Amino acid sequence: MTGTLYVVAVPIGNLEDITLRARRILSEVDRIACEDTRRTGKLLELLGLDRRPLVSLYDHNETRRTPQIIEALQAGDSIALVSDAGTPTISDPGFKVVRAAIDEGLPVVPIPGVSAVTTALSVAGLPTDRFRFVGFPPAKGKALRAALEALAGARETLVFYVSPHGLERFLAAAEEAFGGGRPAVIARELTKTYEEFRRGTLAELCADPGVVRGEIVVLVDGAPPDEAPAEADLEAVVAGLLADGFAPSKAAREAAKRTGGSRDAAYRLAVALRSRERGDDG
């Protein structure tokens, strides 16, 4: 029989957030694939669990490690996949292993638990009926501004992971892209001793972001209906997607997602632009 890959969420700070099921799985599997063997070894020690064989799996070795993990699963080993904190594959390593296991028809079982995304959303005070997890935005100024400008018309709450040294640059770019009056929240050191939530407009948070250290999640309210993109802005996004090789229907869907504009309007623009291109070619 083949083994099972368990995708196990672990605490992001407070050890008491470990679930009973996660604890049991970590005590039963044959081995654990983890970002940092020292941190996971310490976690097992703090939980009072016997140490299991630990296999390092991080961004720079995941491609090389994946075949080894698949081979172990096929040989019958059960393996827990964990990240340093939170849920694996959510802006953390593990996707390639999960994808490969699925492709090989191997059992993949989620062991749910804490995630910084949902933890921050639950107490942010911003709408949660729709949200978009963006993850880590580009670090460089020009790329960061372009990425945020593409999201300016999105109606759903936006969730970002931001490094401490990049927080002020991110807030300044967000204020420029979304407007200083847009409500936002800085969630810092979630579940840890110095947990902090700073709520206000982007202008207010730019002026006083608080203590800039620790793990940070920034949430930004979605654009109100009257901030839907102008047709010229929507056309610019559609034109860029067509130039990148998107078909009109896919370009329309992606443009609506990026801008918060009408998908039907985006499709009409895509068809008109494509027709215009063909006319120019002829």
| Residue 282 pLDDT level (bands cut at 50, 70, 90) | very low
Q: Kindly state the DSSP code that residue 104 receives in the 8-state scheme.
A: T
Determine the length of the chain.
282
| CATH number, residue 157 | 3.30.950.10
Q: What is the pTM of this model?
A: 0.78
Pair 238, 205 in one domain: no
Residue 260 to residues 255, 266, 272: CA-CA distances in angstroms? 8, 10, 20
Pair 16, 98 in one domain: yes
Last residue of a domain, one of 51, 84, 114: 114
Task: State yes or no: pLDDT of 55 exceeds 80.
Answer: yes
| CATH number, residue 70 | 3.40.1010.10
Strands 54-56 and 216-220: unpaired
pLDDT score, position 116: 96
Average pLDDT over residues 140-152: 90
Q: What is the mean pLDDT of the chain?
A: 92
Pair 105, 148 in one domain: no
Pair 11, 106 in one domain: yes
Pair 9, 95 in one domain: yes
pLDDT digit string (tens) for 193-230?
999 999 999 999 999 998 888 899 999 999 987 655 66
Give the whole-angstrom CA distance, residue 273 versus residue 281.
12
Average pLDDT over residues 59-63: 94
Token look-up 């936002």 returns 184
Average pLDDT over residues 241-268: 84
Q: How many domains does the chain have?
A: 3
**Nearest partner of 19 among 115, 100, 144, 106, judged by Cα:** 115
Pair 25, 81 in one domain: yes
Q: Quick one: tokens of 30? A: 């044959």
| Residue 259 pLDDT level (bands cut at 50, 70, 90) | confident
The sign of the CA dihedral 255, 261, 264, 268 is negative
E-strand spans in 35-130?
Answer: 54-56, 79-81, 108-111
Pair 124, 106 in one domain: no
Pair 93, 9 in one domain: yes
Please give the distance of CA 252 from its chain centroid, rounded to a whole number. Answer: 23
Q: Quick one: tokens of 150? A: 């593409």
**What domain range is 122 assigned to?**
117-221
